[in-house]
Chain A
Amino acid sequence: MRKTSNVAELEAIAKQVRREIVEMITHAKSGHPGGSLSAVEIAVTLFFDVMRHDPANPKWPDRDRFILSKGHAAPVLYSVFAECGYTPKDQLNSLRKLGCMYQGHPDARFIPALEASTGSLGEGLSIGIGMALAAKLDQRPSRTYVVLGDGEIQEGQIWEAAMFGGDKGVDNLVAIVDYNHIQLDGFVNDILPLDPVADKWRAFNWHAIDLDGHSIPALQAAFAEAAQTKGRPTAIIAHTIKGKGVSFMENNPKFHGVAPTEEEMEKALAELA
C-alpha cells in the first residue's frame, strides 16, 4: 500500500471509500450507512497517513492498533482494509453473506488482522487501553486508536475506561468520538445529551481536542498533537455529519441502520462521482 500525507490524495481515497460503503450496504440489503459515512475521514487519515502498519505483516509487534469500537460501522473499516490490501476488494459486495469474511460486525475469526471483534457498544476503549499498556510494558512504539460513537459513550464502561486511562497516563492512546449527533432511536440530544463532551474528558485528565471530523488537515494536526502530548491520553471530539456525502442520508436518523435501495444507491453514487 502507498501511504501519503497529501490532502487531495487522501480526499480522493475518502470519496472512493464512501462509494464502496454505499455499494456494499446496498448489496447486503442491511447494515449501517450513516455511522460508516461519518467516520470516513477519521479512518482514511489514520490508515493512509498517520498509523504505522504493514498489510504484508499484519501481526508486526510494533504496529499501531486501530479499534472500531462502534463496530456497526464495519463497512468503513472493510473498505479501508481492502484498499490497504489486508483483505480482497472483490468480496466487498458479499458483506453480511454467509461465509463471507466481511461479517455484519468486525469479526477477528474471519479477518485476523482485526485487532478486536466489536459490535457490543462500550467495550472498545477498555481493550484499547489494555493494548496501550501492553505496548508500554514492552517498551514498544505502538500507538492505539479507538473510534467511539457518540451514542456509544453513554455506556458506563466508557467512563470507567476514561477514568482509568486518565489516571494511568496512557499517552500512547487516542480515543476519537464520532460526534454525529444521531444514535439508533434518534437525535442524541433527545435521548441522552452528552455536552459538554470535551470537558468531560478533560475532567478525567485527558487532553481533549474539538475539530471538524471531515477535515483531513485538522485530523492530521490533531493526531500529531496527540503524539506530542505526554503523560495523558488524547480524546478527539470529531464533529461530524451522520451520512456525510450523500445528501438524503445526511443528518437523517433513518439511515442509521437502513440499507439504501438500488435507486438510492444510484443517486448516492452520482453525488459521490
Chain B
Amino acid sequence: MEIRTKFELKLGMATREAFGKALVEAGRKNPDIVALDADLSKSTYTSLFAKEFPGRFVECGIAEANMIGIAAGLASGGKIPFAASFSCFAINKGFEQLRVAVAYPNVNVKVVGTHSGISIGEDGPSQMSIEDLGLACSLPNFTVLSPADEVAMHALVHASVAHAGPVFIRAGRPKAPIVHSPDQRFEMGGSVQLMDGSDLSIIGNGLLVAEAIRAAEALEAEGISARVIDMYSIKPLDRAAIQRAAAETRAIVVAEEHLVATGLGVRVAQVVAETNPCAMEFVGIQDTYAESGTPQELMEKYGLVARNVVAAARRVLSRK
C-alpha cells in the first residue's frame, strides 16, 4: 500500500547536518562552545565547526569513552562541550563515563549521537543505534531530545546551549522530511501537535513523525480522525500533552525508530497509566537487531513506515 500525503512533505536536510550548521551558529555567538569528535567529524558534521573554529575543536581519535571524559573535564573548566559520534559509539562506548563523569555530578556536557536507528542502511547493526534513547533516559539529570527535522534540530541545539546540564540529542543519517513550520518554538519538556484529531492520537519522534502524518492522512480518508504529536523531548516528557491525548482521544499509538522495549512508547505508557489509562499500541523495533539494506527497505522490513502506523491505529481502535 502506497500512502500519499495531501501536501507532499518536503525533504529537508538530515538532522545531523542541521546539527552541524546550528553548532557553528551557536559557536559564533558563544565562545565557550567547543566541539569534540571521535574520528567521525565528516559524518557528524562537526567538521563544519572544526573548519570555522579550529582552536575550539577537539579531535579525540577513535576513543569515545575518553572523549566523554574529556568533555566532562572541559565542562568543569567552564566550557560548553558538544561531543559527537555515531549514537551507538557515543552512548555505548561512553556509557560509564556518561554515568559517573557526567550524569551523576550533573556536568554540563552535550552529547550528539548521529546515525541513530536503522535508517543508516547498508553499514548494518554494528553501527546502528536502537537502544540509545533508553540508555540516555536511564541517566538521571539528562535531558533527552530526538528532533524530527532540521527546524527542530536547529532550535534544540540552541536550547541545549541555554540549558545548564547534560543533554543527549539524537540525530539521523538520511535527509528528513520537514514537518515543522519555520517559526515553531521548541523547549525542553515540550511537544508539538501537528494535526488535531478525536478518534486516536499518534505520538512519534524522529523520522516516525513524518510517517505518523502520512498515516493520519490515510486514516482521514477512511473517516478516522487522528491527532499527531511530535514528542521530541523524551525526557522530560510533556506530561500535559500526553494526558490530554489520553483523555480526549482515548486511544494512543506511539511510533519510533528504536527498540519498543525501552524507547518513547514505554515512557508515554507510564504517563498514561498514571493519568488516564487507555488502549495503546506501539510501533518500533522489536527485540531484534536489523541488518544491511537500503534505509527504505529496512524501515519497511522492520515495520517502521506509515502502513505500520495505520495498522496499529486500527488495532488500537478495535480495543477502544
Contacts and interface: CB of A to CB of B under 8 A. Distances in A.
A97 B126 contact: no
Contact of A154 (B63, B293, B298): B63
B118 to A, nearest CB: 12
Interface in A130-165: 151-152, 154-156
Interface stretch (B10-18, B34-42, B202-210, B228-236): B34-42
A191 B301 contact: no
A35 interface: no
A104 interface: yes
B126 A98 contact: no
B55 to A, nearest CB: 15
Interface in B34-52: 37, 39-43, 47
B291 A107 contact: yes
A92 B39 CA distance: 29
B122 interface: yes
A104 B294 CA distance: 11
Contacts of B65: 156
A220 interface: no
B123 A155 contact: no
Nearest to A31: B122
A119 B124 contact: yes
The winner among A99, A185, A192 for most chain B CB atoms within 10 A is A185
Interface string A163-202: 0000000000000000000011100000110000000000
B61 interface: yes
A191 B40 contact: no
Interface in A69-107: 71, 96-100, 103-105, 107
A116 to B, nearest CB: 11
Given A105-B124, A119-B123, A185-B39, A98 B293 contact: yes
Interface residues of B, number: 32
B62 interface: yes
A118 B122 contact: no
B39 A151 contact: yes
Contacts of B62: 121-122, 151-152, 154-155, 183-184
A6 interface: no
Contacts of A104: 122-124, 127, 292
A28 B122 CA distance: 9
Contact of A98 (B40, B41, B47, B292): B292
Given A104-B122, A104-B124, A156-B66, A120 B292 contact: no
Given A103-B292, A104-B123, A156-B66, A184 B42 contact: yes
Nearest to B127: A119
A30 interface: yes
Given A154-B63, A185-B41, A97 B292 contact: yes
Interface string B287-320: 0000111100110010000000000000000000
B263 to A, nearest CB: 21
Contact of A191 (B59, B126, B297): B59
A38 interface: no
A191 B61 contact: yes
Interface core residue of A31, A104, A117 (most chain B CB under 10 Å): A104
B122 A96 contact: yes
Interface in A16-68: 28, 30-31
B236 to A, nearest CB: 31
A133 B126 CA distance: 25
A71 B40 contact: no
Which of A30, A31, A103, A151 has the most chain B CB atoms closer than 10 A to its own CB? A103
Contacts of A71: 126
Nearest to B123: A104
Interface string B110-146: 0000000000011111110000000000000000000
Given A119-B124, A121-B62, A151-B61, 19 more contacts: A30-B121, A31-B122, A98-B294, A98-B297, A99-B291, A103-B291, A104-B124, A105-B127, A117-B126, A151-B39, A154-B39, A154-B63, A155-B63, A156-B66, A184-B42, A185-B59, A191-B39, A191-B59, A192-B63
20 contacts: A30-B123, A99-B293, A103-B124, A104-B123, A104-B127, A119-B127, A120-B126, A121-B62, A122-B93, A151-B62, A152-B62, A154-B39, A156-B63, A183-B62, A184-B40, A184-B42, A184-B62, A185-B59, A191-B39, A192-B63
Interface of A: 28, 30-31, 71, 96-100, 103-105, 107, 110, 117-122, 151-152, 154-156, 183-185, 191-192
Shortest 9 CB-CB distances between A and B: which pairs? A119-B126, A192-B61, A98-B293, A154-B61, A104-B124, A96-B122, A104-B292, A154-B62, A104-B123
